[in-house]
Amino acid sequence: MTKQPPAGVKSTSAQRLREALATMVQQQGNGASPPALTTTTLCERAGISRNALYRYHPDVVQALHAAQQKHSPRIDGDRQAAQRLRQDNAVLREQIARMAALVDHYFAAWQETRLLLQRRDRELAESRRDAKVRVVSIAVAHRSG
């Protein structure tokens, strides 16, 4: 649906591109089912090829990209979501560091307790050997009769 210039007046492809882009941006602002701000849509409305757009009209391509960024709330939402995820990630890394420190603390405490128990067992065995104490079971033998 390209606007045709009045009879006898030729429009250049640059003019058609700018007019099509302006119309598309205006429709984006209105919000009533606007066309997608894409190079394909722009080229269809201006009646030129995508190759011609990229080759001969880089200023229009830049304007299109600026309009896409301005009118794309999804990009802002994605940025905000990414920022929230980065913050969550930082909090989780801090929690992991704290948990690792706690695990190290409990592991050291376990090792110390294990070594202390081993030393007490050795001391008890030496005391029994030195005292020549004979261990006697105090359990009552159950006789069946």
- pLDDT tens series, the chain, 145 aa: 444 444 444 579 899 999 999 998 888 777 666 678 899 999 999 999 999 999 999 999 999 988 888 876 666 677 888 999 999 999 999 999 999 999 999 999 999 999 999 999 999 989 888 887 677 778 776 666 5
**What is d(CA 17, CA 64) in angstroms, rounded to the nearest whole number?**
10
Q: Is 60 exposed, middle or buried (0-12, 13-18, 19+ CB in 10 A)?
A: buried
Listed by start position, the domains of the chain span 13-71
**What is d(CA 50, CA 41) in angstroms, rounded to the nearest whole number?**
10
Count CB neighbours of 76 within 10 A: 10
Instruction: Give yes or no for a contact between 47 and 37, defined as CB atoms under 8 angstroms apart.
Output: no
**Length of the chain counted residue by residue:** 145
pLDDT for position 139 = 77
pLDDT for position 2 = 43
